[in-house]
């Protein structure tokens, strides 16, 4: 039964009873009360059951009974589970309802004997208890006794009016508590509002002994971060009475704190303790007033302050990339009076793998060091350090230290053309490209170093314009890159200006064409390695260049030694260059149409050994029509010695596509233009000698000069000698023209030998 209380009662005047009872099961189904009425009948009344809070199997069932008639009622408590197992109480509970208007409970309870109701150190084990109360219709009186062992027992007292008496005999030593009850005839019950306590003792002269700390578990030199300490200690005593803990604070003051006592277990909560060392002395008194204490002082150090001001002092800067083959020395500082240990936590590869390393605390206790050997894998690593004091307070530096280990040099590339574009002696950056990448720490710096043929250094960075006045010859380039970890890499290459690199004749033509302002085509022509002195040497022209510049070049060299890397650079230009290969200013052509500008830049070995060059070039019918020129008006002029010199030019043939091929013979290379011939007016012999003839296609570049007049009697001999020389020259040129010149000579032989105002043209 939970209510009413007591479960068995008489004299209830209320016809309504609120019944509550508890039972235990994990699978309840139904709860009900079997009510036995005064007339002898029984009835099952269903109760409402609910699970008690904080439990898993205890239920409370409630049932309100209304309109009960006078007489004795008995109650049987029943509960079923879901398996239809039924449980019940072992005996009836009885309540008697009476007709009465008394609803006032007994009041004003007071002890008469013993004279002092709350007393200690009572040596008599027999107590004559007596108490009084106020009640108009008293019925029964009960004294509830609480014994030292924790049990309680209800003792019925003898009642006389409103005075109840009871003799308690053979009480054990220890504290007893008493609760007074009284019932009236209507069943109303009253009680005192508080316990009364009496402690029975025997004669005791032995002081409490064997004091030991229970908590903290390590009483001496215990470091506590919490400023609240739950103190507990034990002692040995048959009749314990009080316990006191004397606290010695860090400032030297002492304070006695009364502990709660349960048997011989004393407990005390100390709150808000200051940081520092505290000492404790335990005291206990027995019921005879005899006091005992511990033989030695216990100490506890309170430390609620966590380490602070954590920072790295090395390596610096705090976040850096470094080579993983470098040993790192870590140094950290902090504020802590009693550091226990310092740990360095290392997260490899963004914390995928972690390693803890103990740091060595310095003598002053405010710094620590750790050395990490080489061998970190490439990648980003996190470093965090922790400081823990002896009170187990721990602090972590607020900023994660990030280091990128990088032992791999950057990847570098350098591309240089075999023939950089030049305009005069200017080379531009579009002919050089370089790049550098570094996947781990990134590229910090790059440098492009160019060494000219004289050993001079030109330093540039990738992406910057490289426009320099340069020398002809070989240039050495070195592109280097450094990553943020200090790893370096470089790549080297070479390129030529004016003297390009060529392979042997068997490798064929090496060609580079650049899209540079003013340069329409650029071609490198290789000299065959099997060239022989004095023999015609044909230099191949690529098909995509033929028609844009020249069709064919045939050389005759004095010597062929040193031609292993010989070459000729051929440009078709949009305009006349400012200077020729000798750095002489190129003079403009006055009032003459220019169909094409061609520039030859031979290597040194070719320039020194050239005897003559037969140059075949083409002009289309469309070009002739646009310039309003005839085929017999086309000439090739060469710039040399500061002026333009017209070369002897011969028309060869016209193909089915309207391409007209012409032939000119030059003593060397320079800047050439395809232009209109100068009209040649025949002069009297005394003012100008007849033209100097050479081998077919061989033309003297000397400007017209006044010939020395010969005596009239030798003039026929001179004419005969010139005619013979011209015939011999035609025979030799026939070899160079591979038969085409012979065809042309036959055509020329059918022409008149002289036209008015013009010189003879073979």
Nearest residue to 217 via CA among 233, 204, 201, 205? 233
Residue 318: pLDDT band (50, 70, 90) is low
Residue 456, in any domain of the structure: yes
Nearest residue to 502 via CA among 494, 511, 492? 511
For residues 109-137, average pLDDT: 82
Residue 340: pLDDT band (50, 70, 90) is confident
Domain end among 302, 336, 368? 302
Note whether 169 and 217 are same-domain residues: no
Residue 528, in any domain of the structure: yes
| Order of strands, sheet of 634-640, starting from the edge strand that comes earlier in the sequence | 519-526, 567-573, 594-602, 671-676, 634-640, 643-647
Computed over every residue of the chain, the mean pLDDT equals 78
pLDDT at 423 over 70: no
Residue 430, in any domain of the structure: yes
Cβ atoms of residues 181 and 166 within 8 Å:
no
Note whether 479 and 433 are same-domain residues: yes
Domain end among 249, 276, 302? 302
Taking the C-alpha atoms of residue 348 and residue 163, their distance in angstroms, rounded to an integer, is 87
User: At residue 91, what are phi and psi to the nearest 5 degrees?
Assistant: -145, 160
Taking residue 751's Cβ as centre, other Cβ atoms within 10 Å add up to 10
For residues 234-254, average pLDDT: 90
- The model's pLDDT over 40-75, given as tens digits with 9 standing for 90+, comes to 999 999 999 999 999 999 999 999 998 888 788 889
Note whether 215 and 191 are same-domain residues: no
Note whether 519 and 668 are same-domain residues: yes
For residues 617-634, average pLDDT: 91
Note whether 220 and 259 are same-domain residues: yes
Its pTM stands at: 0.37
Cβ atoms of residues 315 and 329 within 8 Å:
yes
Tokens representing residue 360 in the block: 């060595």
Residue 469, in any domain of the structure: yes
Taking the C-alpha atoms of residue 335 and residue 330, their distance in angstroms, rounded to an integer, is 17
Q: What is the DSSP letter of 516?
A: B
The total of structural domains in the chain comes to 7
Domain end among 183, 200, 217? 200
Residue 367, in any domain of the structure: yes
Residue 45, in any domain of the structure: yes
Note whether 16 and 129 are same-domain residues: no
Residue 650: pLDDT band (50, 70, 90) is very high
Q: How far is CA 165 from the centre of its chain?
A: 88
Note whether 669 and 725 are same-domain residues: no
Note whether 245 and 334 are same-domain residues: no
Cβ atoms of residues 329 and 344 within 8 Å:
no
Q: What is the pLDDT of residue 762?
A: 42
Residue 2, in any domain of the structure: no
Q: Which residues constitute the domain of residue 51?
A: 9-97
Domain at 66, CATH number: 2.60.40.650
Least confident of 26-35, 215-224, 660-669: 215-224
Domain at 188, CATH number: 2.60.40.10
Note whether 528 and 490 are same-domain residues: no
- Coil, strand or helix: which one is 132? strand
Residue 415, in any domain of the structure: no
- The model's pLDDT over 347-378, given as tens digits with 9 standing for 90+, comes to 777 556 777 777 888 866 788 888 887 777 88
pLDDT at 431 over 50: yes
Note whether 144 and 183 are same-domain residues: yes
Domain at 425, CATH number: 2.60.40
Note whether 597 and 668 are same-domain residues: yes
Domain at 559, CATH number: 2.60.220
Note whether 668 and 564 are same-domain residues: yes
């Amino acid at each position: 039964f939970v209510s009413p209380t007591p479960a068995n009662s008489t004299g209830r005047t209320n016809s309504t009873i609120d019944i509550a009872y508890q039972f235990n099961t994990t699978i309840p189904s139904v709860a009900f009360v079997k009510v036995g009425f005064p007339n002898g009948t029984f009835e099952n009344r269903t109760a409402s059951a609910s699970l008690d809070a904080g439990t898993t199997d205890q239920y409370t069932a409630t049932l309100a009974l209304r309109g009960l008639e006078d007489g004795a009622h008995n109650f049987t408590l029943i509960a079923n589970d879901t398996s239809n197992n039924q449980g019940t109480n072992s005996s009836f509970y009885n309540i008697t309802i009476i007709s009465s208007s008394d609803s006032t409970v007994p009041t004003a309870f007071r002890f008469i004997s013993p004279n002092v109701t709350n007393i200690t150190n009572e040596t008599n084990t027999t107590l004559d208890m007596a108490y009084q109360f106020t009640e108009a219709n008293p019925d029964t009186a009960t004294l509830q006794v609480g014994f030292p062992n924790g049990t309680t027992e209800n003792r019925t007292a003898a009642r006389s009016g409103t005075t109840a008496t009871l003799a308690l005999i053979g009480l054990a030593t220890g504290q007893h508590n008493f609760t007074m009850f009284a019932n009236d005839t209507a069943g109303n019950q009253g009680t005192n509002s508080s316990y009364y306590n009496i402690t029975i003792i025997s004669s005791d002269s032995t002081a409490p002994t064997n004091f030991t700390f229970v908590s903290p578990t390590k009483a001496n030199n215990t470091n506590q971060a919490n400023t609240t300490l739950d103190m507990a200690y034990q002692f040995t005593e048959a009749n314990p009475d009080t316990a006191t803990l004397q606290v010695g604070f860090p400032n030297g003051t002492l304070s006695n704190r009364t502990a709660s006592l349960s048997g011989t277990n004393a407990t005390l909560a100390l709150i808000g303790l200051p940081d520092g060392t505290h000492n404790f002395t335990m005291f206990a008194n027995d019921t005879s007033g005899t006091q005992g204490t511990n033989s030695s002082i216990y100490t506890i150090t309170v430390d609620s302050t966590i380490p602070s001001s954590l920072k790295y002092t090395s390596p610096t800067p705090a976040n850096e990339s470094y080579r993983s083959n470098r040993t790192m020395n870590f140094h950290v500082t902090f504020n802590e009076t009693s550091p226990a240990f310092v740990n360095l936590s290392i997260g490899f590869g963004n914390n995928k793998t972690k390693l803890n390393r103990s740091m060595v605390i310095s003598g002053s206790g405010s710094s620590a060091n750790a050395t990490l050997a080489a061998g970190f894998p490439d990648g980003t690593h996190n470093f965090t350090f922790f400081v823990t004091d002896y009170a187990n307070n721990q602090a972590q530096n607020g900023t994660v230290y990030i280091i990128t280990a990088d032992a791999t040099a950057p990847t570098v590339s350098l591309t240089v053309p075999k023939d950089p574009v030049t305009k005069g002696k200017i080379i531009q950056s579009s002919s050089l490209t370089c790049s550098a990448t570094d996947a781990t720490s990134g590229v910090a710096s790059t440098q492009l170093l160019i060494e000219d043929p004289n050993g001079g250094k030109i330093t540039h960075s990738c992406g910057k314009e490289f426009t320099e006045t340069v020398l002809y010859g070989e240039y050495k380039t070195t592109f280097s890159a450094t990553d943020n970890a200090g790893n370096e890499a470089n790549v080297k290459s070479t390129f030529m200006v004016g003297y390009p690199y060529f392979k042997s004749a068997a490798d064929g033509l090496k060609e580079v064409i650049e899209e540079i302002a003013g340069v329409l085509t650029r071609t490198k022509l290789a000299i065959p390695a099997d060239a022989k002195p004095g023999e015609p040497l044909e230099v191949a022209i690529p098909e995509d260049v033929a028609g844009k510049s020249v069709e064919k070049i045939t050389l005759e060299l004095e010597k062929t030694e040193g031609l292993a890397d010989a070459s000729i650079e051929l440009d078709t230009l949009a305009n006349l260059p400012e200077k020729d290969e000798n750095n002489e200013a190129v003079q403009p052509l006055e009032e003459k149409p220019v169909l094409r500008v061609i520039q030859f830049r031979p290597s040194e070995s070719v320039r020194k050994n050239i005897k003559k060059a037969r140059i075949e070039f083409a002009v289309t019918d469309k070009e002739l029509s646009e310039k309003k020129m005839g085929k017999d008006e086309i000439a090739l002029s060469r710039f040399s010695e500061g002026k333009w010199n017209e070369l002897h030019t011969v028309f060869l043939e016209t193909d089915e596509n309207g391409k007209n091929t012409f032939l000119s013979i030059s003593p060397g290379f320079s800047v050439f233009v395809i232009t209109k011939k100068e009209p040649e007016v025949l002069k009297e012999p005394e003012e100008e000698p007849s033209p100097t003839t050479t081998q077919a296609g061989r033309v003297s570049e000397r400007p017209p000069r006044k010939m020395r007049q010969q005596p009239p009697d030798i003039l026929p001999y001179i004419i005969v000698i010139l005619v013979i020389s011209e015939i011999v020259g035609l025979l030799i040129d026939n070899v160079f023209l591979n038969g085409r010149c012979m065809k042309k000579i036959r055509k020329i032989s059918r022409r008149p030998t002289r036209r008015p105002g013009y010189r003879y043209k073979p």
